[in-house]
Each structure stands twice: as C-alpha cells, then as structure tokens.
Amino acid sequence: ATGNLDKQKTIDLRKKHVGPSCKVFFSHDPIKIVRARGQYMYNEKDEKYLDCINNVAHVGHCHPDVVEAGAKQMELLNTNSRFLHDNLVLYAQRLQATLPEKLSVCYFVNSGSEANDLALRLAWQYTVNSTLSVPPLSLHWDLNSNQFLRSVKLTALSPDIYRGKYCEDHPDPATAYAENVKDIIEQAHKKGRKIAAFIAESLQSCGGQVIPPVGYFQKVAQHVRNAGGVFIADEVQVGFGRVGTHFWGFQLQGEDFVPDIVTMGKPIGNGHPMSCVITTREVAESFMSSGMEYFNTFGGNPVSCAIGLAVLDVIEKEDLQGNALHIGSYLTQLLDDLKKRHLLVGDVRGRGLFIGLDLVRNRDKRTPATAEAQDVIYRLKEQRILLSADGPHRNVLKFKPPMCFSREDAELVVEKIDQILTGNSGNSKL
C-alpha cells in the first residue's frame, strides 16, 4: 500500500534511498501530502492546505475530467507515436489553434528540460544547417571550420525594471535591455562565434517574477534574427492562460511578436509528465533535412494526448483564463493595499495568476528582505497556506496557484500575510 507509512519512516527512507540534490519544501519540517483536489492539498492527518504554488496542477489537482480522460485511454491503448493515432493529430491541431498561425509543427516530449534541449537542437540545426547530428547542449558542427564547436551559453541582463540595470525611471528600458543582447552578439561575432538562439521565459518565474518591458522581445528578436539566430520563448511556467489577458505569456509583448520556437511543459498535462516544442514549418524542415530521425518513446503517446486535450477542454469550459484575469487582478489589488500598509513590501508585480511580492528592508535601496521572506513562508505554512519565496535573492513571494483559485482564497492568504507582517513589524512601520 502507498501513503500509509509513518511520516518519520517516509523521511528516513527518503534520506536513505533518494538522491539528496532534490530538496524537500520546508526542509526543517517537511509536509507529507497524501491527496489533493482543486487548489487544496491534504496531509496524512487530512489537514487541508491552500496551495498557492502549484502551477503544474493548472486546472486544479486531480481534476475529474482529466483523470477520467487519462484512465479511459489507459484502459484502451497506450503506445508510441510510430503508429497513427487520432489523439496525437487532434491534440497538435488544438494546441496550434491557440498560437499564431506560423507556429504549426509540434514535437511532443516529456519534460520542460527535454523541450528546451530539443528547442536548442532545432535552433542549431536551423542556424548551422549541418548535416551531422547535434548532441544536445554540448557541441555543434561548424561547416566553415569543419570542426565541432563547443556551444557556449551567454547570459543577457535580466530585463528587470525594479532591480535591474535599467529601471522604471529609464526612458526606454526595452531598448536598453535589447541593446545589451545586441552587444553580446557583437562580442560573440568578434570571437568568430555564431548565434543559434536566444531563449527566455516569457515572464521570468524563478528569476523573481520579472515581467519584461513591452517591446523588448521584438527588439531582441530583431537583433538575434539579424545574426541568423532564432527566438525561443519558454512558456513552461507561464503558458496556458495563466497571465489572464492572453493564452501565452509572449503575447503580452503585442500582436506583432511571434517567436520562432515555443516550449511548453508543467501545466500542459496537469501533472502528467508531458511537454511540447512548437515551431515553424521552416525550422522543422531544416531539422528534417539533417537526415537524422528524431523519435521519442513516450512523447505524444495516446494517454498523454488524451490528458492534454482534457486540460484544454477544462480551461475553456471553466473559463480558467478569465478566472486568472479576474482573481489575479483582485489578488494584485489586495497586495497593493498591503504595500500601502507595510514598508517591507517593495513591489507588487504580476499578470493574471502569476504574481510576485518583492520584500525589501529599505524601499529606497530596494535591499532584498531574504530572511523576512523565508519567515513569512514558514509562518504561512503553520497556518496551512503554501507559498514560496524565489528570485535570485529568494525574497520574492511567488503566487502561481492552480487556476481555479477563488476570491476567498485570495482574501485568506492576504489576510494571513497582513497579520504576519504586522506581527513582524510590531506596529506595521518597518
């Protein structure tokens, strides 16, 4: 039987047999969850937690429609995509319908990392146009010098207008941050390197809930394409309607922006391990022209596609994108009110149900309040609310709950944060 072990026994067995690099949440006092539904999770004592962090359980934990679709298909058939199957083609067609027309070719894989690796391989093949296979994340063949080149990852400035190099008082941060990418490209060219791709999250999640200024992606794409590279938008965390006004995060940049490749994961299967890379016919043809076959054992199997279709159905049927917009705006408003009352709250930023609360020790200097953020999440946990702190300084309280999050949930979490901050500061005048 599963789920019946004494909690300490679970901890002991995990220490003994599970790779230690994966840190458990709340490592001083981890939580054992045995079931979940909607936006609530239940521990071994059946105590209920409000989940503000699981963007994977996009349409709600264990949504009955998704569970049923997966179970039914599992009973009938699950096999690889070398056989014809309607689920695969219908799902590709449904996903495509959410995207700009030219993003029309799908590759189904199993995790966000796998999707990004494949996206980079597509980019290399397209830009280098080699006839040899490209090992992921390591080498590519250069036709000019007739040798393998090590691929190099160059890091651009984070387009963060709160804590970055160019802030909200800059006249044109979008252009300034894009110029940084242009400079990096020029430096690379000077060293005889080629540019295969620029890859970025459409909104940065682990990077501290950073929303790139509008126009940044268009300008970056122009510089990258001028250099022969492609633009990859990573929608692994923020896609599928989470930003509220749009289905995809990159669409916040405007109608005129279309990436060359989009990667998706986490919410795509509501917890079922699946992911996807979508690109243009042109990029896909170039990959094909390498002569190398690409096949993925589990990617696009009938069960995953049935689940993916059910997730899209639920988003539509329950208008979860609309809910993300309305509840997200309401939550943002409540958090803005908190900012008025607590100096510790330096910035509230987000779109839809993707919101960050940037805690600072000093509003002018924007000094990250790392320890305070950790304290808040531990105290919330005592009140059975799950929230995380992220960003380079781990001081940004990060909201990315299941999309069925309600007004009452928003009110509860903000009320509890308010109480904690009041307690912390004594008189709310930190």
Interface with ligand PMP (CB under 6 A)? 111-113, 116, 201, 205-206, 234, 236-237, 265
The DSSP-derived string for 200-260 is EESSBSTTTSB-PPTTHHHHHHHHHHHTT-EEEEE-TTTTTTTTSS-SSGGGGG-TT---S
Q: Per residue, what are the HEC states of 108-142?
A: EECCHHHHHHHHHHHHHHHHHCCCCCCCCCCEEEE
User: Is the CB of residue 278 less than 8 Å from the CB of residue 262?
Assistant: yes
Closer by beta carbon to ligand PMP, 116 or else 388 = 116
Element (H, E) at 414: helix 407-425
Q: How far is the CB of 118 from ligand PMP (least distance, A)?
A: 12
The DSSP-derived string for 14-69 is HHHHS-TTSPPTTTTS---EEEEEBTEEEETT--EEEESS-SSSTT-BT-HHHHHH
Q: How far is the CB of 397 from ligand PMP (least distance, A)?
A: 17
Chain position whose Cβ is nearest to ligand PMP: 112
- Can you tell me which residue has the tokens 């060359």? 260
Q: How far is the CB of 153 from ligand PMP (least distance, A)?
A: 14
How many other CB atoms sit within 10 Å of the CB of residue 314? Answer: 21
Closer by beta carbon to ligand PMP, 85 or else 398 = 398
Q: How far is the CB of 207 from ligand PMP (least distance, A)?
A: 9
Q: By three-state DSSP, how is residue 276 classified?
A: strand
Q: How far is the CB of 216 from ligand PMP (least distance, A)?
A: 17
Q: How far is the CB of 166 from ligand PMP (least distance, A)?
A: 23
Closer by beta carbon to ligand PMP, 22 or else 84 = 22
How many other CB atoms sit within 10 Å of the CB of residue 191? Answer: 7
Longest dimension (CA), the chain: 69
Closer by beta carbon to ligand PMP, 112 or else 391 = 112
User: Is the CB of residue 341 less than 8 Å from the CB of residue 428?
Assistant: yes
Q: Do you know the residue count of the chain?
A: 430
What is the rounded CA–CA span in Å between residue 39 and residue 50?
A: 6
Closer by beta carbon to ligand PMP, 206 or else 292 = 206
Q: How far is the CB of 120 from ligand PMP (least distance, A)?
A: 12
Supply the Cα-derived Rg of the chain in whole angstroms: 23
Element (H, E) at 187: helix 173-190
Closer by beta carbon to ligand PMP, 276 or else 314 = 276
Closer by beta carbon to ligand PMP, 286 or else 388 = 388
Closer by beta carbon to ligand PMP, 267 or else 346 = 267
Closer by beta carbon to ligand PMP, 116 or else 323 = 116
- Can you tell me which residue has the tokens 């001028």? 226
Q: How far is the CB of 58 from ligand PMP (least distance, A)?
A: 13
Closer by beta carbon to ligand PMP, 123 or else 236 = 236
Q: Could you give the strand order of the β-sheet that contains 33-37, starting from the edge strand earlier in sequence?
A: 33-37, 40-43, 48-51, 385-386
Q: How far is the CB of 201 from ligand PMP (least distance, A)?
A: 5
Q: How far is the CB of 111 from ligand PMP (least distance, A)?
A: 4
What is the rounded CA–CA span in Å between residue 319 and residue 41?
A: 22
What is the rounded CA–CA span in Å between residue 307 and residue 118?
A: 22
